Amino acid sequence: MPKKFLLFDHDGVLVDTEYWYFKANQQALSELEIEIDQTQYLELMRTGRSFWDLETVTSIGQAAVVDKRVDRDHYYQSYLKNEDIEIPNVLETLKALSQRYRMAIVTTSKPQDFALIHQDRSIVDFMDFVLTREDYDLAKPHPEPYLAAQDRFGCRKDEALIIEDSERGLRSAVAADIDCAIVKNHFTQTHDFSAAAYRIDRLTDLPKLLADAIV
């Protein structure tokens, strides 16, 4: 079935932000004298769990955890403002795809972080709509985010393709029973992508995949 609707994950697919979110978490947790390395973080990310929910952290006390999560958000927004988060040729790729497909972003980003990222970017100009974390109840790897996007488009599952870069996102796509293409991302390269329908090295490969491999 030819694809007509593209559902894009955001972080790691359209902007290179995932490492900086890890660094913000690492920085805030270190101030509680809790150390987390990238391997531990990725293992939790794989299944949609948060380091902040582990007993090691929660045993410190709710007030301290709430305060440090606020600090984490500030650190992350500082990284977003000051670090290079561009992925090459995203706009050109989206412009080409927009001639043939309807597109949306389905992200676990908070609305305020999403707004900060896109205040000087035009990625969203190519999208029919955006779903951020406050637009659904259950986050990835639950299927709800992608099912909500499918419902918003009013399309059949076989007409849609999800574009992801993490195992958590892939699990959400599989649970929603919608085909998923994984874009290679160095940060999530240790994740298990064996359930993906398609694999591409970079986002710029997506138009060719759609033209050649998906019929």
pLDDT in tens, 116-143: 999 999 999 999 999 999 999 999 999 9
Supply the pLDDT for residue 66: 85
The predicted model gives 136-156 an average pLDDT of 97
Supply the pLDDT for residue 50: 78
Positive/negative CA dihedral, 168, 174, 177, 179: positive
The set of long-range contacts for 204-210, using a CB threshold of 8 Å and a minimum separation of 24, is: 204/88, 204/89, 204/92, 204/93, 206/93, 206/97, 206/163, 206/181, 207/93, 207/96, 207/97, 209/181, 210/3, 210/97, 210/100, 210/101, 210/161
Supply the pLDDT for residue 34: 87
Q: Give the separation between CA 183 and CA 156, rounded to whole angstroms.
A: 23
- Hey, where are the domains in the chain? 5-16+86-212, 18-82
Q: Give the separation between CA 13 and CA 8, rounded to whole angstroms.
A: 7
Q: What is the signed CA dihedral for 206, 207, 211, 215, rounded to 10 degrees?
A: 50
**C-alpha Rg value of the chain to the nearest Å:** 17
Supply the pLDDT for residue 189: 92
Confidence class for position 55, pLDDT limits 50, 70, 90: low
Confidence class for position 1, pLDDT limits 50, 70, 90: confident
Helices (H), 16-129: 18-30, 38-47, 55-58, 62-82, 90-97, 111-118
Find the range with the poorest average confidence among 45-59, 73-87, 113-127.
45-59
Confidence class for position 214, pLDDT limits 50, 70, 90: low
∠ CA 99-105-107, nearest 5°, is 165
Supply the pLDDT for residue 194: 97
pLDDT higher than threshold 90 for residue 62: no
Q: What does pLDDT average to over the chain?
A: 93
**Ramachandran class of 36: left when φ > 0, alpha when ψ lies in -120 to 50, beta otherwise:** beta
The predicted model gives 53-57 an average pLDDT of 69
Domain covering 5-16+86-212, topology: Rossmann fold (3.40.50)
pLDDT higher than threshold 90 for residue 77: yes
Confidence class for position 215, pLDDT limits 50, 70, 90: low
pLDDT higher than threshold 60 for residue 35: yes
